[in-house]
A and B are shown apart, each in its own frame.
Chain A
Amino acid sequence: MGSFIYSVLGDPFVQMLQMPDFLMQVVWEGFVSGILYALIALGFVLIFKASGIFNFAQGIMVVFSGLTLVGLHELGVPAFLALFITLGVMYVLAFSVERLVLRNLVNQPDIILFMATIGLTNILIGLGQWIFGGETKSMITEQLWLPTGSSVWEPGGGLVIFQHIDIAAAVIAALLIICLALFFSKTKVGRALRAVADDHQASLSVGISLNHIWVITWFAAGIVALVAGIMWGARSDVSFSLQIIALKALPVLVLGGFTSVPGAIVGGLIIGIGEKLFEIYWGPLFGSGIEGWFAYVIALIFLLFRPQGLFGEKIIERV
């Protein structure tokens, strides 16, 4: 019993102290995947804020956009043109979702809208496999002028490796988040969007077109998905199993709150770094593969104590 307690509460920390460079490596990798979780979660937050829809299809949008990009390139389209066309595809997707789905489901209960997005997920999986095939593809990293290779840092005789693509992912994600923040705080559309997020009825009455706003937010979520798809694809590859990984944005949202952009970022980092640390240092105790559920269980425990998330507002129920 004593040795078990030591192996839970003592040994992992001793290991961390003994090899600080390895710890840094683990934290860095957790940080990068955390950023990407945050990016996927951001797509959810955008749509949830603007329309109150919990868009289950956000995960598959990541895969679908990455797949479209690579698939187009495979067909011989130059990389940047393919990127441009993919953006167009994401716009068409946003437009058709609004026109064919959202518009017809206005005022339905949330659960119905949520299930509709699960249906949408199915459609996108089917379409993606149908058009581009179901096999795993590798991202066109170099063609998009994204860096490859790695740098080594040797703090005090240790060894930490930074993949350049990871650095790029962190930087691009940060830039994207800043751009979105600016877009929503400085532009007219952004202000309209925040009005819609606050109160649908009131914004309708001051002449904001909900339909227009929905297209824009879904498109923005599509762009975020595309960036997440490129980055994730570049770190591993583009496959449909990515969709399951993208689901981890859900526990991120639970931690951060469904409507908070900073929450999504902090939540993403907590989950990303937390699960890597846990997998590496405590994983051997349980048998590996903890990464599959760690995020969910943390979110679950967290929910019991703070149902509104880290940054969410406490809901006062009324009757």
Chain B
Amino acid sequence: MKDIAQGYMTEDGRQIGAVLMELKNITLKFGGVQAITNASFDIREGEIRAIIGPNGAGKSSMLNVINGFYHPQEGEVWFHGKKRPSMPPSEIARQGIARTFQNIALFHGMTTVENVMTGRQLMMKKNFFWQLLRVGPALEEETVHRRKCEEIIDFLEIQAIRKTPVGSLPYGLQKRVELARALAMEPKLLLLDEPMAGMNVEEKEDMSRFILDVNDQYGTTIALIEHDMSVVMDLADRVVVLDYGKMLADGTPDEVQKNQAVIDAYLGVEN
């Protein structure tokens, strides 16, 4: 493994910075079930970090720990160089962590643009009384954020479905709207839970391109879970491999691919 104490340079020449988030010895249990056992890894600024592993490996649970939906029984989460106390997920979102979901979690009663606007909620500050008047500063604020959302909508090429209720959109587009919503939050850390699940090759290519563009243009740090190995190997700078809640390996895609424990976990061990 490369020496990455001070950040590193990726193969395509992007500079990866200091540690943004560090997970130390995370253990998560549900009743008697051990979902994650003593997992530790870090996520660096500007990096695309993949978490892979077979079904039930604890990948989604890991994302849920990162954004505070689950509270691990043991271990610490460090964010921006500070230990993060246990807090509700809404507060963690306020610190700049956004995510998408494995089973799309859009607001089905709203249109695309409204869904994207929900990503701006935290940045809208005008109080209740301005809101009910909806003139002057409140309307100005709404307009400013609307403009920002339209930029993101342009960026992800979903202009045409701007005013369509999201419930009626095809699956691939819903995934894209969800990404748009997460981007609208201008997160420091973006978590993507299987962004390409259930997509065809073409859609996967589109989505990969968007993920790379997001990382490139906005400098967003991304942690993603994905099953498609070729996608992971193309996108990710570093990969964590989980199996039955335990860490199997952590390193660059090449290193991980050559790791014997990983090969065993994926292909089975011959006795």
Q: Which residues of A contact B (CB under 8 A)?
A: 316-317, 319
Contact = CB atoms under 8 A, between A and B. Distances in A.
Report whether over half of chain B's contact residues are helix, strand or loop; otherwise say mixed: loop
B30 interface: yes
The 9 closest A-B pairs by CB, nearest first: A319-B101, A316-B30, A319-B69, A319-B105, A319-B64, A319-B102, A319-B60, A319-B103, A317-B69
A316 B61 CA distance: 12
Contacts of B64: 319
9 contacts: A316-B30, A317-B69, A319-B60, A319-B64, A319-B69, A319-B101, A319-B102, A319-B103, A319-B105
B203 to A, nearest CB: 22
Contacts of B105: 319
Nearest to B193: A319
Interface in B43-57: none
Contacts of A316: 30
Report whether over half of chain A's contact residues are helix, strand or loop; otherwise say mixed: loop
Given A319-B64, A319-B101, A319-B105, 4 more contacts: A317-B69, A319-B60, A319-B69, A319-B102
A150 B29 CA distance: 58
Nearest to B61: A318
Nearest to B101: A319
A115 B102 CA distance: 31
Nearest to B64: A319
Interface in B238-269: none
Interface string B65-78: 00001000000000
Nearest to A317: B69
Interface in B1-46: 30
Contacts of A319: 60, 64, 69, 101-103, 105
Contacts of B102: 319
B245 to A, nearest CB: 16
Contacts of B60: 319
A316 B64 CA distance: 13
Contacts of B103: 319
Contacts of A317: 69
Nearest to B69: A319
A317 B60 CA distance: 13
A31 B101 CA distance: 50
A319 B101 CA distance: 7
A319 B60 CA distance: 9
Contacts of B30: 316
A53 B18 CA distance: 53
A218 to B, nearest CB: 30
Contacts of B101: 319
Nearest to B30: A316
B93 to A, nearest CB: 13
B173 to A, nearest CB: 21
B105 to A, nearest CB: 6
A319 B69 CA distance: 9
Nearest to B99: A319
A271 to B, nearest CB: 30
Interface in B89-120: 101-103, 105
A201 to B, nearest CB: 15
A51 B37 CA distance: 38
A319 B99 CA distance: 11
A308 to B, nearest CB: 14
Nearest to A314: B31
A317 B105 CA distance: 14
B230 to A, nearest CB: 27
B58 to A, nearest CB: 13
A119 to B, nearest CB: 21
A179 to B, nearest CB: 35
A317 B101 CA distance: 14
A108 to B, nearest CB: 13
A317 B61 CA distance: 12
A276 to B, nearest CB: 39
B130 to A, nearest CB: 31
A115 to B, nearest CB: 16
Nearest to A316: B30
